[in-house]
Amino acid sequence: MSVDLSYLEKMAGGDVATKKAMLELLHNELSEKIPQIPRLLKSRDWDAIHRFSHHLKSTVVFSGNKTLIRANQELLDMMEDRKHNPPKNPDPARADQLARVISTQGQRVQREVAQILKKL
């Protein structure tokens, strides 16, 4: 299993309705955001990628998927480094690699969360 819901469950405080709402939010956010990755990376719009990664950071933490969390954090760090050290641009090959990890792991989490939601 690629999800660890211990943080989400802690935040839900044992309330099943809250847990379900948080899982639905996680699923919906991933469903909306993950398909955007290829277009963003292709555009090389580093500011948009920064916004995307920053927004995703608060979502993926609830998945407990360490690979997804680390890849997104590294991508975010690359974008922030670029922002604070112009005109430095991120390594496109590394950004692409991280985006693939985020996409793959994000889809995996999305599928697992959908299965968990069916059981609630």
pLDDT at 84: 87
CATH number of 6-119: 1.20.120
In this prediction the pTM is: 0.91
Joined together, the tokens standing for residue 47 give: 């500011």
The DSSP H or E segment spanning 70 is helix 66-84
Domain boundaries, the chain: 6-119
What is the amino acid identity at position 53?
Answer: S
Cα–Cα distance between 77 and 90 in angstroms, integer?
10
Q: What is the pLDDT of residue 86?
A: 77
pLDDT in tens, the chain (120 residues): 789 999 999 999 999 999 999 999 999 999 999 999 999 999 999 999 999 999 999 999 999 999 999 999 999 999 999 888 877 789 999 999 999 999 999 999 999 999 999 998
> Does residue 120 sit in helix, strand or coil?
coil
